[in-house]
């Protein structure tokens, strides 16, 4: 397990032997760091070379992860300057966003059921997860920045 330190916060952890492709692991780690405000809008990410060396992975893999994050609107690429965390913005319609959220929650709830957990366990787990994430205080303001 290897980690990258960015402003005292562990940004990316990967497990090369996991079933999840390394690029997908990097993508999720960056998204998570943004949601938890460990990485803030406008902050620069490590260069491909820096991250590839720190994690001891193929630079092509980091390029793929950054490409995907750029496509997803999590990062913006500035020519010659690298990749930066973009201002949070919603590119999808409200209905589609709710649909995706519902689908993700269905999976969580179903897994919890088969793990033999109770509804209250799920509620508490959701609360704990929410506590780690910093949502913008004013949703309308966040949307205006589209």
Partner 1 sequence: MTTGEPAVAFRDVYRHFGEHEVLRGLSFAVRRGEIHALLGRNGCGKTTALRVLLGFLSPHRGRSEILGVGSDALTPADRGRVGYVTEGHQLYPGMRVREVLSFEAATRPRFRLDLAERAVQRCALPRQTPVIKLSRGQRAQLSLIVAVAAQPEVLVCDDPAMGLDVVMRRELLDVMIELLSERGISVLFSSHILTDVERIADRVSILHEGRLIVDAAVDDLKQRVRKRSWRPSNGATAPPSLPGLLRARRTGEGYDLTLVSDELDDGALRQLGGVLGEPVVPTLEDLFLDVTTNPADGGILSRATDAEVSA
Two tokens at 94?
């409200």
With contact defined as beta carbons under 8 Å apart, do 25 and 58 qualify?
A: no
Q: Are strands 82-85 and 75-78 parallel, antiparallel or unpaired?
A: antiparallel
State yes or no: residue 40 binds partner 1 (CB under 8 A): no
Please tell me the count of residues contacting partner 1 according to CB under 8 A: 19
In angstroms, what is the minimal distance from the CB of 123 to partner 1? Answer: 27
Name which of 32 and 50 has its Cβ closer to partner 1: 50
State yes or no: residue 115 binds partner 1 (CB under 8 A): no
Question: If DSSP codes are grouped into helix, strand and coil, which group holds residue 39?
Answer: coil
8 Ramachandran zone, left/alpha/beta (phi>0; psi -120 to 50): left
State yes or no: residue 3 binds partner 1 (CB under 8 A): no
In angstroms, what is the minimal distance from the CB of 41 to partner 1? Answer: 26
State yes or no: residue 65 binds partner 1 (CB under 8 A): no
Q: How far is CA 81 from CA 48, 84, 130, in A?
A: 12, 9, 33
In angstroms, what is the minimal distance from the CB of 45 to partner 1? Answer: 14
Binding stretches for partner 1 (CB under 8 A) = 16-23, 48-49, 52-53, 55-61
């Amino acid at each position: 397990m290897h980690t990258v330190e960015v402003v005292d916060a562990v940004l990316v952890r990967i497990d090369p032997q996991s079933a999840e492709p390394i690029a997908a692991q990097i993508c999720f780690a960056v998204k998570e760091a943004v949601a938890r405000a460990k990485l803030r809008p406008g902050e620069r990410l490590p260069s491909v070379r820096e991250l590839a060396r720190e994690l001891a992975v193929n630079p092509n893999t980091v390029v793929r992860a950054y490409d995907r994050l750029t496509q997803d609107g999590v990062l913006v690429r500035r020519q010659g300057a690298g990749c930066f965390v973009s201002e949070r913005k919603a590119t999808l319609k409200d209905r589609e966003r709710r649909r995706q959220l519902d689908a993700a929650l269905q999976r969580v709830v179903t897994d919890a059921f088969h793990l033999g957990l109770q509804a209250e366990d799920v509620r508490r787990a959701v609360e704990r997860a929410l506590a780690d994430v910093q949502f913008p205080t004013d949703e309308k303001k966040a949307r205006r920045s589209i």
